[in-house]
Amino acid sequence: MKYNYLVTETDLDDLKKQLSTISSQVNEMKNKSEVKRWLSEEQAQSITGMCDKTLRKYRQNGVLPYSKIGRKIFYSGEDLDKFISTGYQKSGLSEFLSRRKQTI
């Protein structure tokens, strides 16, 4: 048995509002969730450009946090980002140019 329903513009507007609300709530939940991205030692080497010995040294000295499961080492992507950011240095170009102006 088939039923025929009449959907009005008001009904569609209400549905749009409800979908918009649900979409906003889903986006809020995505932003709040802190899903950690774990990287293998090989991936960490590739991202940082460091060899395994350097990563091991930072691990052993407590500079770079890690997780170990069996023999496998994992690094948090967030921790690697922080670690790389701490080494950020500004270019020496502006300093070079200011020294150059002083000598001219």
pLDDT in tens, 36-75: 688 999 999 998 899 999 999 999 999 999 999 999 999 9
How high is the pLDDT of residue 45? 93
Angle at 46 between CA 80 and CA 55, to 5 degrees: 55
Predicted local distance difference test score (pLDDT) of residue 29:
73
Predicted local distance difference test score (pLDDT) of residue 4: 79
Q: Collapse the DSSP code of 10 into the 3-class scheme (helix H, G, I; strand E, B; otherwise coil) and give the result.
A: helix
Rounded CA separation 92/102 (Å): 16
Domain span including residue 50: 38-86
Q: Tens digits of per-residue pLDDT, 77-92?
A: 889 888 888 876 666 6
The answer to whether residue 58 sits within a structural domain is yes
Do the domain assignments include residue 56?
yes
State the Cα torsion 78-81-83-89 to the nearest 10°: -160
Asked whether residue 77 is assigned to any structural domain, the reply reads yes
- Asked if the structure places residue 45 within a domain, the reply is yes
Residue 44 included in any domain: yes
Q: Is residue 9 part of a domain?
A: no
Separation CA 56–CA 104 (nearest Å):
48
Q: Is residue 75 part of a domain?
A: yes
Q: Which residue has the higher pLDDT, 19 or 104?
A: 19
Query: In total, how many domains does the chain have?
Result: 1
Q: What is the pLDDT of residue 70?
A: 94
